[in-house]
Structure 1
Amino acid sequence: MPFLNADGDIYELYLGTEGVELDPDNPENRFGLDWVETVSGLLDEAAANAKGLVITATGKFFTNGLDTDYIAANYAQLPAYLDTVHALYTKLLTLPVHTVSAINGHAFGAGAMLALCTDYSVMRDDRGFWSLPEAALSMPFTQGMAALVRTRLSDAAATEAMLTSRRYGAHDAAAAGIVGEAVPVDQLVERARAVAAERQHITGPNIGAIKEGLRAPLLADLAVTTPATVL
């Protein structure tokens, strides 16, 4: 399960299990309900104690998004499940500390959108893709997810990413404005920590309030209850 590395004022939230690159119970860091609950609680802990937060993982995946096994077994619960994911996005978007994604591997679908919820992002430059595969998989975007991509990316980047399911390597993602920088893997977390540290002098409730105002229309879309018609 995800865990926090509380190293000084800048915390690191790892999306996978400590000491295990590929957890057999969740090898792709997918959004299982327990996983989402754990990440949400760790965000609360970081908000209360840290002055900056880096979100990363180890191994092949940053996160591969929605838990498709859960969805297949609980199809009628899909709207409620997506609302839970939206709530996680909302918490991260409004966290009262500066947040930086250090994308260590594949970030697909809901996992790619999780990276968009941080204030800044860096991505390893040698392997791994950021992608929204929904169009290729004949899956819709919820109102909140579409608003997230549209708000956080330029119109050109959002249009290409959402309509073509393109897989972006780090340099292409940086050129499109999807991530801030492409970084060598051995500098990835260090660079993300440096960005968070540069901003740590401006943190606290006022930053949370500014984020809420900055992202108010997006937060309103994420708060819309997912209709059963999403099925």
Structure 2
Amino acid sequence: MTTSVTPGSEAGVRYEQDGPVATVTLNRPDVLNAQTPAMWSELVDISRKMPGEVRVVIVQGAGRSFSAGLDLSVARGEGDSSLPVLARLSPEECADRIAGFQEAFTWLRRPSLVTIAAVQGHAIGAGFQLALNCDMRILADDARFSMAEVTLGLVPDLGGTKRLTELVGPSRALEICVTGRRIAADEADRIGLATAVVPRDQLDGAVSDLAAAVLTADVGAVAEIKALLAGAPGRSYDEQDRAEREAQTRRLRDLAGME
């Protein structure tokens, strides 16, 4: 049974849950799901209210594109979170405001969740970073990534730079960020940005199949594996070996009913 917990229609985000699978949909198709601070606030609210039974989160965009990035009409306006207003804050206040924006993206990295971005059409700037914060990215063959913040004189600041560097290496990550160029689905697949690329009409099915495969695995093992892999780039071999030993010990004790 599918239930809608947080419709978020006014904010432009829709939340649906079917048992252990939650689907978060950016729902402003008329503007290619351009993102606003109101949408980010809704994403944070969804993350805080999400039931503990959820194991897989699918992030998608309604219509023909995943997300065209930041809504520039909002960014250039005079709202509380517009770029001119942010610029007038103290450095500490500005950083705190951005930290609140980042929370809308970074919760997708929780060890207790496996998160999947279903990407079609454009995923630009904030859209690209939203996909990067997910554990896996299934791309339609018409998908296009771009880290376009540099075209506004800005830097990517929504949790995407570390994952991008881990996936493609520092040299290519720099090239992607400073040029803001478009990356087609076939290149994304070749350089490690895509988990898989499928024909557009097979995107929903491919994502559903992946979610079902994740759900067949032991929930505790999945959480431990995600944490092990997430921490691996920052550990030495000896430190990673130790983390594996400790994780396996926890799994053995849990499976034996000792914890």
TM-based fold match above 0.5: yes
* SS class of match (1:179): coil
Amino acid at match of 1:197: A
CA shift for structure 1 position 108: 0.4
Equivalence map 1:110-125=2 (5 Å): 110-125=126-141
Q: Is the 8 A contact 2:102 2:157 kept in 1?
A: no
**Alignment deviations for residues 39-72 of structure 1 (CA, whole Å, 9 cap, x no partner):** 2233345452323121111223211222333332
8 Å CA contact retained: 1:28, 1:64? yes
TM normalised by structure 2 equals 0.69
Amino acid at match of 1:108: I
Which residue of structure 1 lines up, in the alignment, with residue 106 of structure 2?
90
Name the amino acid aligned to 2:33: N
Name the CA distance, whole Å, in 2 between partners of 1:60 and 1:193.
19
Aligned residues: 211
1:132 has 2:147 as partner = yes
- Structure 2: gaps spanning 5 or more residues: 1-11, 87-93, 234-259
Q: After superposition, what is the alpha-carbon deviation per residue over 1:154-183, rounded to whole angstroms, capped at 9, x for unaligned?
A: 334313311222201211111111111111
Q: Secondary structure at the match of 2:63?
A: coil
Say whether residues 1:12 and 2:23 are aligned partners: yes
Q: Deviations over 1:127-170 (max 9, x none)?
A: 24111112333322349543342234333431331122220121
Q: Percent identity?
A: 22
CA–CA distance in structure 2, aligned partners of residues 65 and 5 of structure 1: 22
Between the aligned partners of 2:158 and 2:56, the Cα distance in structure 1 is: 29
Question: Does 1:59 pair with 2:73?
Answer: no
Cα distance between partner residues in 1 of 2:15 and 2:218: 19
Q: Higher helix proportion, which one? A: 2
Q: In terms of mean alpha carbon deviation, does 37-46 or 116-125 score higher?
A: 37-46
**TM-score by structure 1 length?**
0.76
Considering Cα pairs closer than 8 Å and 6+ residues apart, tell me whether 1 or 2 has the greater RCO.
1
Gapped regions of structure 1 (runs ≥ 5): 219-231
Separation in 1, partners of 2:168, 2:97? 25
Do the aligned partners of 2:34 and 2:68 also contact (CA within 8 Å) in 1? yes
> CA-to-partner distance for each residue in 1:100-148, whole Å, 9 max, x for gaps?
11102210012101101111111110x2411111233332234954334
Which structure's CA Rg is the greater one? 2
Q: Distance in 1 between matches of 2:66 and 2:96?
A: 24
